[in-house]
């Protein structure tokens, strides 16, 4: 099986979908075939971010119901070549059990280098299904005590679900805000609060947010895009140092 990664967080709004879309594009830019699976039933937004919403007819619920062959519900993104999406179910109902997710991802992963699963917020049934097939998890958190408290909880749930390899992505980081807020002395204190090893710091980047909102790629030299390119490289085993915090 190829690399299957769940993108998750304790709190909603931490940036899971933005990171899933941006990281997918960054891995695709490295020449990899990437499938994104939107597991946020009823609240999925990756179809919009990937420029698929106008064309989408089927979604994961149709695949699970057996009304279509799995590949008929996968759409090529207009944002980037090599980037594909299996859209979320249109209703909030829990139609995808952890066992079905494992089976589905087992089938799909043979055709892709990376499968990224965008999980719903919280630790309910939808979360358990989203994490079930994953070998590793990216925990997305903003550097504030409320979000990091939920991150620590999510880490425990991931461990219980058997996802051993967990990495922290600090999102929406701004050096100025970080110092002004004064919640934490330094990045090490943030990492300690989460209890998860750091893999990336993604800056607060309006260009990245706007790109997702408008179904296009952010400029390659935007700080968010560059941070996601570094994350993609690290996910593929490259050693890429973290730039000094003052750069964010």
Ligand X SMILES: Nc1ncnc2c1ncn2[C@@H]1O[C@H](COP(=O)(O)OP(=O)(O)O)[C@@H](O)[C@H]1O
Rule CB under 6 A: say whether 15 interacts with ligand X: yes
Q: What, of Mg ion, ligand X, none, does residue 106 touch, CB below 5 to 8 Å by kind? A: none
CA distance 248 to 143: 13
- Residue 42 in contact with ligand X, rule: CB under 6 A: no
Expressed in percent and rounded to 5, the helix, strand and coil fractions of the chain are 40, 20, 40
Residue 202 sits in the site that holds ligand X (CB under 6 A): yes
Considering CB distances under 5 to 8 angstroms, the limit depending on partner class, which of Mg ion, ligand X, none binds residue 205?
ligand X
Stretch that binds Mg ion, among 11-19, 66-74, 156-164, 185-193 (CB under 5 A): 11-19
Minimum distance of Mg ion from residue 131's CB (angstroms): 15
Token pair of 116, please?
A: 């990224």
Pairing state of beta strands 165-173 and 197-203? parallel
Q: Which of residues 12-51 bind Mg ion (CB under 5 A)?
A: 16-17
171 lies in the site for Mg ion, by CB under 5 A: no
Specify the residue, 38 or 144, whose C-beta has the smaller distance to Mg ion.
Answer: 38
Minimum CB distance to ligand X smaller for 2 or for 167: 167
Q: Which of 154, 166, 204, 222 binds ligand X (CB under 6 A)?
A: 204
- In degrees and rounded to multiples of 5, residue 141 shows phi and psi of -145, 145
44 contacts 87 by C-beta, under 8 angstroms: yes
16 or 230: CB nearest Mg ion:
16
For residue 48 the two structure tokens come to: 């919009």
Strands 75-76 and 83-86: antiparallel
Residues 6+ away with beta carbon under 8 Å from 127: 8, 119, 120, 121, 157
**205 makes contact with ligand X (CB under 6 A):** yes
CB 51 within 8 A of CB 28: no
Asked whether position 208 contacts ligand X by CB under 6 A, the answer is yes
Q: How far apart (Å, rounded) are the C-alpha atoms in residues 16 and 121?
A: 9
Give the count of residues interacting with ligand X (CB under 6 A). Answer: 18
Handedness of CA 222, 206, 82, 100 (dihedral sign): positive
Q: Residues 5, 17, 80, 225: which binds ligand X (CB under 6 A)?
A: 17
Nearer to Mg ion, 178 or 211 (CB): 211
Instruction: Kindly list the residues in this chain that would bind Mg ion in the complex (CB under 5 A).
Output: 16-17
Instruction: Kindly list the residues in this chain that would bind ligand X in the complex (CB under 6 A).
Output: 9, 12-18, 171-172, 202, 204-206, 208-209, 212, 224
């Amino acid at each position: 099986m190829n690399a299957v990664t769940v993108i998750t967080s304790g709190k909603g709004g931490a940036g899971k979908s933005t990171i899933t879309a941006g990281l997918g594009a960054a891995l695709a830019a490295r020449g990899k075939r990437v499938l994104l699976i939107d597991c946020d039933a009823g609240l999925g937004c990756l179809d919009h971010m990937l420029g698929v919403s106008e064309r989408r007819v089927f979604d994961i619920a149709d695949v699970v119901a057996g009304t279509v062959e799995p590949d008929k519900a996968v759409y090529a993104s207009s944002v980037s070549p090599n980037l594909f999406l299996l859209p979320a179910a249109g209703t909030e109902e829990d139609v995808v059990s952890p066992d079905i997710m494992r089976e589905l991802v087992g089938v799909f992963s043979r055709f892709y280098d990376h499968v990224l699963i965008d999980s719903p917020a919280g630790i309910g049934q939808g979360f358990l299904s989203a994490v079930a097939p994953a070998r590793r998890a990216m925990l997305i958190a903003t550097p504030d005590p409320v979000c990091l408290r939920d991150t620590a909880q999510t880490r425990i749930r991931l461990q219980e679900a058997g996802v051993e390899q967990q990495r922290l992505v600090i999102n929406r980081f701004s050096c100025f805000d970080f110092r002004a807020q004064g919640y934490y002395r330094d990045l090490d204190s943030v990492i300690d609060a989460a209890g998860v090893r750091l893999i990336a710091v993604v800056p607060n980047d309006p260009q990245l947010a706007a790109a997702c909102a408008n179904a296009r790629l952010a400029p390659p030299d935007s700080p968010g895009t560059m941070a996601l390119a570094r994350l993609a490289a690290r996910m593929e085993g490259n050693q890429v140092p973290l730039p000094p915090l003052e750069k964010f």
